[in-house]
Structure 1
Amino acid sequence: MNIVRFKSVLFFLFSLLFFCSPAIAKPLEPLVLGMSAAFTGHSKGLGIELYRGSQAYFDKINADGGIGGRKVVIKYYDDGYNPLPAIRNTIKLVENEDVTCLFNYVGTPTVTRVLPVIKHFNSKKPIFLFFPFTGAQPQREFPYEEFVFNLRASYRQETWGLVHNLYMVGRNRIAVFYQADAYGRSGWDGIRKALREKNLNIAAEATYRRGAGFDDSMKRQVEILAEASPDAIISIGAYEACAAFIRDARDAGINIPICNLSFVGSENMVGLLNDLEKKSGKNYTDNLINSQTVPSYEDTSLPAVREYREAMSKNPPPPEGFGKGYDPLPFSCISFEGYLNAKVMVNILKRLDMPQYSGNIYAATLSIRNLDIGIGTDVSFGRGKHQGVDEVYYTTVSDGKFVPLTDWKRWSK
């Protein structure tokens, strides 16, 4: 065989090999979840930690091949905990990013303002918001409840539990410190309703402006509440402002129980107070109580807690691009909530390829019944039931960190 013929045969064999080889499969399009949250400003720890917890779970799923070969991706935008950027972000996510759904939004003032936008989009194509980090009522009531699925308990449930437990240990003069916006008023209304059930009124109230930081003075608010001689205070705010209020209250000699709701960001708040204690030598963390909508991440008897702690220890997600100057927490109630949000979300996304749902995320979500996610209480959705869990948990500070509160009698009057 001459050299020319040999080259021709070789070329033919290579060509045959190339054309007969199976086509190289293109990677499947990811499942994109759109998130608008505070990643900058005085409340950035809320958005960052919620994102990190969810990402920790999605990282596990993606490492195992994703969902039917599709990776789960969070497309996140910063709104600084302000309504107008949240609206712009929502429009961008729906119109430009082609998201599967909206997910992990943070805050009542932001969520309440994007609800009409979500409702408007649903006149053209289905789009739903899953598991916002807020316990407010608007997304749980007509005309918006159909477009939102909540995992956590409501602020009404949290405030009722705080009022009831304080009442049972003889603390009836309850004052309220709250953020002057939809979030603060939602918590205020829950406290008012819970007190009225017991023929009581709010003893005194004081507000602060959203966006206040730890360096701001809350002395005037402390003075207003102190005039009513309350025997307990419930705060509805974010961690920097609430930490500032606790600081000024303790400096004024007010050592009664001060309670906060789950949204506050309890670990970020107590971190500020712990640093202050080290500098000043004063005690700022006694008699603090926090309601939570997830179990304590210290309760390692729960399978989900063990999974979460392992995920956050072995491969902790970074704060990402918006986390400049932020020191991420090893564990927190907020990142644990994000982890659980992602766990339920994956269960929903896995059902989209089932013939009975055919990509209908609304129907797939309604099919969730008695889902065990490892927290000791099951998750269920259904028509007229767009909140998966009703449990409220309570924590208090011991040795500089929030731990499960098992006995309220220590605050008996």
Structure 2
Amino acid sequence: MAFPRKTLTALLCGLVLACSAQAEDVVFVQIASQTNPASKDNAKGMAVGIQAYFDAVNAKGGIQGNKLVLKIKDDGLNAERMVQLTQESIADASVVGLLGSINSAGLAEVAKRDLAGQGKIALIAPLQGDKHVIGAANVFPFRSGYANEIDALLKEAKNWGKDTLAVVNMGIAFGPALAQVALERAAAMGLKVVSHSVIDAKPDNISASVQAAVKATSAAQPKAILVLAAGRPAYDFVKEMRAAPGGMVQIYGVSVLLHDDLVAQSGKDKAHGIVLSQSLPYPYTMYKPLITEYQQTMKRYAPKEPISYSSLEGFAGAKIAAEAVRRAGTPSRAGVLAALQQLGSYDMGGISVNYGPGGRQGWGGVELTIIGSEGQLRK
């Protein structure tokens, strides 16, 4: 049956409009602070990685014509504020999932109150390794656990005869929880903690608190120092400690201590030789298809941003979120959550996660890296 030209044009326009009306933004929310000095570097890196992956998907037409959108909410690294923003996001029907959240104390409270479970929303790839958080309902991790990192660092210290340790942690976020794990694991391994200092991460109190921590650590004369801090509290401590008596001892740090910012803020001479545990795959060498995809995507969609662990983590979380949207068919909160719950083993490119009735596991590895004389990070 032939249609007049005007009628055919009208029909085609109607079809285009109908398809356009069906397409919609698929909104994920990241709750993380780019203003608090203890979290801003990780928060920005995660956001850059997420946005790069979303931009790459959207440039190819999105998913079934739907555009992936990231919205960032800054909680100031305040636990109660994270709870409020999580509740606010759950109440917003346009939000299909939470992605790349940062705030250990806040996430612990979100898990304790079962907000993701009761809100029937997925919380994907939080920067968190606490088993109580990543084991909570509807949390889908990518990174390995903090306890695994602490174990790896303490075993390294013991193997090298570093049997007396100083533990230095910041008093917020992951600091207190990791310090407790470190103290317990050190004792179990026969390592003696000769000093334990807590750095007040409030911007106005950092300097005085760092000086007090340096003084106590220097006086204790440990064979190694375990730094459980990130951002300015960690950078300032390393810089001041290296200049103090006995400050050239071995320093160990966890993955949230970003090496590139540590080198930039503390100086490569101060950072040289520091050993960092990594709960994420090594992002600087294209040894896995996922890393190749990540580097190529960053080069195209975030060319001014550095390759880093934090942006890789955001990228991986975004890839998991996008896969859930693809499998959901309809980009709804319930569909995304159901897709993740039934994801099973998902090969992201030589690196896999596994979500199902038997549990939700991230990639599962821990690697030790060391900062070289020129500030480069080596495996």
TM-score normalised by length of structure 2: 0.89
**Hey, what's the Cα distance between the residues in 2 that align with 1:359 and 1:258?**
45
Alignment of 1:132 with 2:126, yes or no, is yes
**Hey, what's the Cα distance between the residues in 1 that align with 2:358 and 2:182?**
25
Change (3 A) 1:20 1:152: closer
Amino acid at match of 2:352: D
Contact 2:288/2:351 (8 A) holds in 1: no
Aligned to 1:389: 363
SS of alignment partner, residue 227 of structure 2:
strand
Alignment of 1:301 with 2:287, yes or no, is yes
**Hey, what's the Cα distance between the residues in 1 that align with 2:158 and 2:139?**
33
Aligned to 2:216: 224
SS of alignment partner, residue 203 of structure 1:
strand
Alignment of 1:260 with 2:253, yes or no, is yes
Aligned to 1:114: 110
Change (3 A) 1:329 1:230: farther
Q: Residue by residue, what CA displacement relative to the aligned partner does 1:301-338 show, whole Å, maximum 9, x if unpaired?
A: 22222222222222217xxxxxxxxxx74211101111
SS of alignment partner, residue 287 of structure 2:
coil
**Hey, what's the Cα distance between the residues in 1 that align with 2:33 and 2:198?**
21
**Hey, what's the Cα distance between the residues in 2 that align with 1:138 and 1:48?**
25
**Hey, what's the Cα distance between the residues in 2 that align with 1:191 and 1:30?**
43
Alignment of 1:41 with 2:36, yes or no, is yes
Aligned to 1:87: 83
Q: Residue by residue, what CA displacement relative to the aligned partner does 1:263-299 show, whole Å, maximum 9, x if unpaired?
A: 123322221123xx6xxxxx31222111112222222
How far 1:18 sits from its partner (Å)?
A: 5.8
Change (3 A) 1:84 1:392: same
**Hey, what's the Cα distance between the residues in 2 that align with 1:266 and 1:40?**
20
Contact 2:284/2:307 (8 A) holds in 1: no
Aligned to 1:409: none
Structure 1: gaps spanning 5 or more residues: 1-12, 278-282, 318-327, 406-413
Once the two structures are superposed, the pairs formed by residues 11-410 of structure 1 within 5 Å of their partners are 16=7, 19-23=10-14, 24=17, 25-27=19-21, 28-42=23-37, 43-96=39-92, 98-116=94-112, 119-120=114-115, 122-123=117-118, 125-141=119-135, 145-181=136-172, 183-212=174-203, 216-217=207-208, 218-253=210-245, 254-274=247-267, 283-316=269-302, 329-353=305-329, 359-374=334-349, 376-405=350-379
Higher deviation after alignment, 381-390 or 173-182 = 381-390
How far 1:248 sits from its partner (Å)?
A: 1.0
**Hey, what's the Cα distance between the residues in 2 that align with 1:32 and 1:153?**
26
Change (3 A) 1:97 1:237: farther
Contact 1:270/1:401 (8 A) holds in 2: yes
Change (3 A) 1:214 1:99: same
How far 1:97 sits from its partner (Å)?
A: 5.2
How far 1:67 sits from its partner (Å)?
A: 1.6
Q: Which runs of 4+ in 1 moved over 6 A?
A: none
SS of alignment partner, residue 284 of structure 2:
coil
Matched residue pairs, number? 368
Query: Structure 1 vs Structure 2: percent identity of aligned residues?
Result: 23
How far 1:197 sits from its partner (Å)?
A: 2.8
Q: Residue by residue, what CA displacement relative to the aligned partner does 1:32-53 show, whole Å, maximum 9, x if unpaired?
A: 1111101213132221110001
Amino acid at match of 1:135: G
**Hey, what's the Cα distance between the residues in 2 that align with 1:370 and 1:122?**
22
Contact 1:239/1:266 (8 A) holds in 2: no
**Hey, what's the Cα distance between the residues in 2 that align with 1:173 and 1:94?**
47
**Hey, what's the Cα distance between the residues in 1 that align with 2:205 and 2:366?**
27
**Hey, what's the Cα distance between the residues in 2 that align with 1:49 and 1:120?**
25
**Hey, what's the Cα distance between the residues in 1 that align with 2:129 and 2:46?**
15
| Greater Rg by CA | 1
